[in-house]
Amino acid sequence: MPGDPSSRKSGGADQDLRVLIVDDHALFRRGLQMVLKQEEDIEVVGEAGDGHEAIQKAQELMPDVILMDVRMPRRSGIEATQQIKDMLPHVKILMLTISDEEADLYDAIKAGAAGYLLKEISIDEVADAIRSVWQGQSRISPSMASKLLLEFAAMSKRADERQQLPAPRLTEREMEVLKLVAQGLNNRDIAKELFISENTVKNHIRNILEKLHLHSRMEAVVYAVRQKLLEIK
């Protein structure tokens, strides 16, 4: 059956790779379609203009790889990535975006993205990136990879500097929020899970970061695990 992941092998050449393009700019989607049409082993099976539509199209079309923008109306690409990976774990998602913000990179990786490429790359590189993520590789633009390595190095150094200090005490509610952050939930989902408002979630996260002297949600989770404040299973 077309699109049935059980009938294909990773990187196999027996069927074309089914690709879904998600971007809120129709002209960019059309340009990608035209380029990928030239590839004998790639078939563009559909397109979507926002994260909400991407979730629907992913379930309908069962693509192998999704090219996903980050900043889009209605639902962001990162939110869509997380939900699609929950429903269709076999799908590989490659972020293709203009955003060079470290926070977007970290959140995309946490959500399950297999790669993060900036739109400054050559359009001809997109097909190779699609093939490589389907084969199980990770693709990150060099400039973003450098930021990732620098951030992890900084995180490690800060963790070492704090290793001898007693862990700040978090409230029971802050621990609940931190555990849900560690599971990859966004603020909206955390609010639903705990029956509180999104603003309250934001306040708890801000307090957690202030108490732990950290700068991002990702750092908070790594620090909490290292300090045995919570256990990731």
Domain with residue 61: its CATH number is: 3.40.50.2300
For 82, the 3-state DSSP assignment is: helix
Tokens 């059980």: give the residue.
6
Same domain? For 128 and 44 the reply is: yes
Is 2 among the domain residues?
no
pLDDT tens for each residue of the chain, 233 residues long: 444 443 454 444 458 899 999 999 999 999 999 999 999 999 999 999 999 999 999 999 999 999 999 999 888 999 999 999 999 999 999 999 888 887 788 888 888 888 888 888 887 789 999 998 898 887 887 777 666 656 666 666 665 655 555 567 889 999 999 888 877 788 888 999 999 999 999 999 999 988 888 877 777 877 777 777 766 55
Same domain? For 69 and 123 the reply is: yes
For 19, the 3-state DSSP assignment is: strand
State the Cα–Cα distance between residues 219 and 208, nearest whole angstrom.
11
- Expressed as residue numbers, the domain containing 222 is 152-226
* Rounded alpha-carbon distances, angstroms, from residue 34 to 21, 114, 123, 124: 12, 23, 11, 11
Same domain? For 125 and 170 the reply is: no
Structural domain tally of the chain?
Answer: 2
Same domain? For 46 and 80 the reply is: yes
